[in-house]
Chains A and B, each alone.
Chain A
Amino acid sequence: MVITRRRAIVTGFASLGALIAVKYPKQLPPTYGSVLRMGDNLTYAAQRALLPGQSLVKEYTLADITPFPAVGTVKLPPNVVADWKLTVEGRVAKPQTFSVADLKRLPSRTQITRHTCEEGWTAIGQWTGVPLAALLDSVGMLPSARFVVFHTYDDGIDSIDMLDALHPQTILAYGMNGGDIPVQHGAPLRLRVEQQMGYKSLKFVQRIVVSDEFDDGGKKGPWQNGWAWYTGI
């Protein structure tokens, strides 16, 4: 067979496609019949196939911290914040309920990162919390687990895959800029998923369900307003 230049080019592109196909995530979010969701899935699969997993996002210095807009927030009575309980259940050996004080006894991580809102603005803040990996470890996550689902006080649901859940910078934060998290920023517990858009970093996290199966919360998840489930871009 003569290897023409054109054939070499086509083969090159086909190999790239094959690489993405082979490294495609085993479980993809449902497309709900929407061509836009199919595009989202292509982006998700391509990023998972082509990017090295769990690279750290850039961390900033105290001097870089900026004012931080609070959007999509609810009013929370102070006693609700004070009596907060976090339940971790699902595919774990020891389902458990934690107070914020319990969580503060687990390993902690402090990071100064950029919050990237899908609207187009960015803000830099310092977050302190328990790495999600340490929390999942403390309840004995089962090896079959593939996704982590978050339920919030204001009835929101969203989930992330295990690569993002076990990312070193994915933390369940209880501190912001050196103090407790103010209510409008998600008191007392909010998720930080630094390698995705801001809306994946859910506020007011109350329940964590570890799952073997994909679960985006259906009508209570990002789909309700037509939002993509994976937002690494």
Chain B
Amino acid sequence: MTNGPRHARWVRVTHAIATVSVLALVFSGFVILMAHPRLYWGNAGNDLTKPLIELPVSRNYKHGGWEGDARTYDIFNQNGWGRSLHFLAAWLFVIPGLLYAVFGLSEGHFRTNFWPGGRSHYGATQKHVYTIVVFIFAPLTVASGLGMSPAITAAWPFLLRVFGGYQTARTIHFVIFASFVIFVVVHVAMVARSGFVRQTRGMTW
């Protein structure tokens, strides 16, 4: 097998960590969603209020097990490990992500590969998509995630204000999750189409 061009080492390392963390975040995030597959707008939303949408992703979907305001239905809930895995993976996303952003700016990586007219051979759409994922999706998913933390929003209330409430932040967090999943599927499909082995070697070792 011939050795094609490689990405810089810091790109390969942060990409590998991002792959692991995003897989763990998507998986644990979905498990967390299954416990309460209803989305709302504003500060408060629960089974006794009207949702924007209810997703049929677990047996909790429209379970209807209520006596007055007391729940009688034994819901699916794996958030014990689900939440802890999510936040552990979030550390793996945030710290290497910050390093990636700082190195990307200082090494001209974004100028070359992301900005329109950059030197790299990437297509214009590809550059736009990478820009959106790295500079919009990633910060927005972290900010909306932190916007759901009671301790962090107590210290930094703007995180709650910019989203207009906890449930709005949660709904935005979900929309980014869904967009991210679509991105990953298309990204992998494009890698496969343009030479899976060569591309994967270029991004790994």
Chain A residues in the interface with B (C-beta under 8 A):
5-6, 9, 13, 35-40, 42-43, 47, 51-52, 55-58, 60, 64, 66-71, 73, 114, 116-124, 184, 194-197, 225-228, 231-233
Contact = CB atoms under 8 A, between A and B. Distances in A.
B45 interface: yes
A14 B47 CA distance: 45
A95 B77 CA distance: 39
Given A6-B106, A36-B85, A184-B70, 4 more contacts: A43-B91, A66-B44, A120-B32, A225-B80
A9 B106 contact: yes
A164 B45 CA distance: 26
Given A58-B160, A67-B49, A67-B69, A116 B154 contact: no
Interface in B146-167: 146, 148-157, 160, 166-167
Contacts of B160: 58
Greatest chain A CB density within 10 A among B66, B68, B70 is at B70
Interface string B70-110: 11000101011101110110010001001100110010000
B179 interface: no
Nearest to A44: B151
Contacts of A196: 150-151
A47 B146 CA distance: 12
Nearest to B33: A120
Given A42-B91, A116-B166, A120-B36, A37 B84 contact: yes
B80 A227 contact: yes
Nearest to B80: A226
A232 to B, nearest CB: 3
B38 interface: yes
Contacts of A114: 43-44, 150, 166
Contacts of B151: 47, 51, 195-196, 232-233
Nearest to B99: A13
B52 interface: no
Given A58-B160, A120-B32, A194 B81 contact: no
Contacts of B185: none
24 contacts: A9-B106, A39-B84, A40-B84, A43-B91, A51-B155, A57-B153, A58-B153, A58-B157, A66-B44, A66-B48, A67-B69, A69-B70, A73-B70, A117-B46, A118-B35, A118-B83, A119-B35, A119-B75, A121-B45, A123-B48, A196-B151, A228-B80, A228-B83, A232-B152
B155 A55 contact: yes
Contacts of A71: 70-71
Interface of B: 32-33, 35-36, 38, 43-49, 66, 68-71, 75, 77, 79-81, 83-85, 87-88, 91, 95, 98-99, 102-103, 106, 146, 148-157, 160, 166-167, 170
B46 A69 contact: yes
Contacts of A66: 44, 46, 48-49
B80 A64 contact: no
Contacts of A70: 69-71
A87 to B, nearest CB: 28
Greatest chain B CB density within 10 A among A56, A119, A120 is at A120
Contacts of B33: 120
B87 A39 contact: yes
Given A69-B48, A70-B69, A197-B150, A119 B77 contact: yes
Greatest chain A CB density within 10 A among B32, B36, B151 is at B151
